[in-house]
Chain A
Amino acid sequence: MSHSKMKSAIDTFLKGKMSRRDLLIKAGKYGIGFAALTKLMGMQVTSALAAQDFDWKKHSGTTIKLLMNKHPYMDSMIAELDNFKALTGMNVEYDIFAEDVYFDKVTAALSSKSSEYDAFMTGAYMTWTYGPAGWCADLNDFIQDSSKTNPSYNWNDVVGNLRDACSWSGVAGDVPGAAGSKQWCMPWGFELNSVTYNMRYFEKAGMKPPGDLVEMTDQAEYFTNNAGSNEWSYGIGTRGSRSWATIHPGFMSAYANYGLVDFENNGGKLKAAMNSQASKDFHKQWVKMIASSGPANWSGYTWYEVGNDIGAGASAMIFDADILGYFFNGNPENKEAGNFGFHGFTPNPSASAPTPNVWIWSLAMSNFSKKKDAAWYWMQWCNGPENAMAGGVKHNQVNPVRESVWASGDFDDKIRGTSPGYMEQYNSSIDGSKIHFTAQPLFFETTTEWAAALQEMQTGSNVDETLDKLASKIDRMMKDVGLA
């Protein structure tokens, strides 16, 4: 009896005409618990979808298999998966691997041309390898086909920069999203880079989050020098492992903010630009900061160490992915959980706004799949506005890639309630957020060598010489593949 009243209340809420708070109060009145409410909402969204003029059940009975990374986005999708199965009558199997080994698994699976997996998680940079190798399907074929895509899909709801960032023509130097680009993957969740800081420590030190890189260096030095008598160990956490993952977060964001580029593009011929004078000056500043106030074992730092340290209160701030801070802040197992603040960061004193580099977790379709249309059904559901909303509000699908989720009061409430400064950080940073790298096939070679060079500089090698060596090494690699 109160079920139907609940249903109409949910309907009103879904149409955006009732606040979440009111919905919860109503649910309480009708004696419906939170878990039951969640389930009801899921079912209702699903029936709304099912009521569309679109044959959701076209591939009923088909089973698809996914290859997924162990990630909160994955957990969020699994939590909602029953709704998909009910909607389409399809069955979905999935293999999950830890992120440390995940990409190797994907490379092995795709390089063997196996039809075992139909769709998988990936990052945009990986598709610069998968696309030209012929391993993933061009999703434009599906998105633009109205017979295959449901009417409420609304591809344009995806934040503009991200749609482009996940597409590329395959020609070195071509901007992602430019004419002739193929949509190798579609954005599912993304990260932009900013400062997450321990509010308690900053208050103790009487500081506000840094305005630029120079101020960050000074603040970090303060924290490091005063570590002995306090709970923290050092000032600034950034990544440092010998891997592409070290270059793309905070480092590249700052690099781009100073107007620097990785390559000069002369009509498709690329020349390494890390050893320009401006770049050398930037590197000197960055290395100075890390050497004097970064973690002692910086060269082993990955996402986990950076997060672990701020989570355990060892570092005062980090310049890394915003959701890194968000996840560690939300996990009560971390000692300092709940004490983090977020701050959009403009490293260049002469720049006016942040220009973060973005990492986009995306969904891609295996070109060797024998069930592409069925796989597309899953992909469009997974990435549709309904599921994105469910993921963003109910689970940990942060940052969501759809404007509609960001604009929803619900999501806003949730973020503001848990993460001070996060929405502001997003709003100030999103316009300048894109992939600042030059799209080219030797992305991993370039960035890994760059990380190795950073490591050498951090342990004392001369910055100018190391960068010159790096640039000539990369130029040689480019020459070998005909791109110089």
Chain B
Amino acid sequence: MKINRKLFPYVLTLPALLVCVGILIPFFTAVYYSLQRYNLKMPHMKGFIWFDNYVNIFTDPSFWNTIRVSLTYTFFTIIIELLLGLGIALLLAKRTWLNNVLGVLLVLPLMIAPALASLIWRLLINPNFGVVNYVLSFIGLDGFTWASHPDTVLFTLIMVDVWVFTPFIMILLLAGLRSLPRQPFEAAELDGVPEYYKFFRITLPMLFPFILTASLFRLLESIQQFDIIYALSQGGPGESSMVFQVSAYLQTFQYTNIGKAAAMMVVLWAICYFLCHVFVKQWHKLKIKTKGELLQ
């Protein structure tokens, strides 16, 4: 059976697409909800209100707070995890016994479900029984308010996120580093090129596609993060750590305000769409550029 050459790529990709396409139905249903005043416990008030939900959330200062907190959280987690993940990957790049062992052990934080990891961290930073606090008491820092104060809660949440998810970046960059062709490096050695030049002009550019992919998924995950924040602070104290999905959770499950929750999530979806669009464009541009540089 000879498949037309033109159709072949579609044969390879369409099964994946078709399997996922089913999800469009609930998605459009949710978008449909977002255009209604729809609260499950007040069925008599159900009605089509077009974009009123969107107008309401955009004129609500607490929604802008949610955007601000979510973007702050996302920004810092990605930056810190990228730098840390890259650093660790570079540290472990050489195939020594220690590095191989650490390469596996350091994935352990990622293997623990974020909800459970947060539960354990809650215990670790507990002022009464927490071992971290106990250690800090020796340097007088045991009064640190962790997740109990608006000033320190984001720091605490970001710290736990970094703990859980840096291994994600580390794995990808480590695999990337180890798959880089040796040729440019050998050539550079022969030319007597200094270390930092090698790093910035060869290693890093070749790693960029991997870095971008890793950041892309971390971005999507951080901006949608729920487990860590809900487990540690439920969006509090006050509103200081209220991120998108925590707010949506409260609206959906506790307040049964389906219409408003859907509108909020559609906005989140749109933000993800926009950011990823930018990311992917950059990815394509960098691909072309790196290929070009390597050919030199």
Q: Which residues of A contact B (CB under 8 A)?
A: 103-104, 107-108, 111, 128-130, 132-134, 233, 241-244, 295-300, 309, 312, 314, 441-442, 444-445, 448, 451-453, 455-456, 458-459, 461, 481-482
Contacts and interface: CB of A to CB of B under 8 A. Distances in A.
B41 interface: yes
B236 A299 contact: yes
A188 to B, nearest CB: 22
Contact of A111 (B149, B239, B256): B256
A314 B133 CA distance: 15
B114 interface: no
Given A296-B145, A296-B148, A299-B233, A104 B253 contact: yes
Nearest to A309: B128
B128 A132 contact: no
B164 interface: no
A132 B255 contact: no
Contacts of B250: 448
Contacts of B150: 456, 459
B236 A297 contact: no
B232 interface: yes
Given A297-B145, A297-B146, A481-B42, 5 more contacts: A134-B43, A448-B250, A453-B238, A455-B238, A458-B237
B254 interface: yes
A129 B40 contact: yes
A243 B234 CA distance: 8
Given A296-B145, A297-B147, A133 B40 contact: yes
Interface in B133-171: 143, 145-150
B233 A452 contact: no
18 contacts: A129-B256, A130-B41, A134-B43, A241-B236, A242-B234, A242-B236, A244-B254, A296-B128, A297-B146, A299-B233, A300-B232, A442-B255, A444-B255, A448-B250, A452-B236, A455-B236, A481-B39, A481-B45
Given A103-B253, A299-B233, A452 B238 contact: yes
For B39, B42, B150, B236, the residue with the greatest tally of chain A CB atoms inside 10 Å of its CB is B236
Contacts of B255: 442, 444-445
Given A299-B236, A456-B237, A107 B253 contact: yes
Contacts of A130: 41
B129 interface: yes
A165 B39 CA distance: 24
A168 to B, nearest CB: 12
Contacts of B235: 242, 452
B224 interface: no
Contacts of B176: none
Contacts of B129: 312, 314
Candidate in A128, A244, A441, A455 with the most chain B CB atoms within 10 angstroms: A455
A478 B269 CA distance: 29
A297 B40 contact: no
A299 B240 CA distance: 12
Nearest to A312: B129
A55 to B, nearest CB: 37
B126 interface: yes
B256 A459 contact: no
B128 A233 contact: yes
Nearest to A477: B255
A481 B255 CA distance: 13
Contacts of A133: 40-43, 256
Contacts of B143: 296
A107 to B, nearest CB: 5
Contacts of B122: 300
A452 B147 contact: no
A442 B238 CA distance: 19
Nearest to A458: B237
A103 B237 CA distance: 23
B61 to A, nearest CB: 10
A295 B127 contact: yes
Contact of B233 (A129, A242, A482): A242
Contacts of B43: 132-134
Which residue among B45, B126, B128 has the maximum number of chain A CB atoms within 10 Å of its CB?
Answer: B128
Nearest to A461: B238
A233 B127 contact: yes
A296 B41 contact: no
Nearest 10 CB-CB pairs, A to B?
A242-B236, A455-B237, A456-B238, A296-B127, A242-B234, A129-B41, A297-B148, A299-B237, A314-B128, A133-B41
Max count, chain B CB within 10 A of own CB: residue among A128, A242, A482:
A242
B229 to A, nearest CB: 11
Contacts of B128: 233, 295-296, 309, 312, 314
A128 B6 CA distance: 60
Interface string B41-63: 11101000000000000000000
Contacts of A458: 237
Contacts of A300: 122, 147-148, 232-233
A128 B41 CA distance: 8
Contacts of B233: 242, 299-300
A134 B39 CA distance: 12
Contacts of A103: 253-254
Contacts of A128: 41
A459 B238 contact: yes
A155 to B, nearest CB: 27
B253 A459 contact: no
A181 B100 CA distance: 68
Contacts of A456: 150, 237-238
B146 A242 contact: no
Interface in B249-282: 250, 253-256
Contacts of A482: 45
B237 A132 contact: no
Interface string B207-240: 0000000000000000000000000111111110
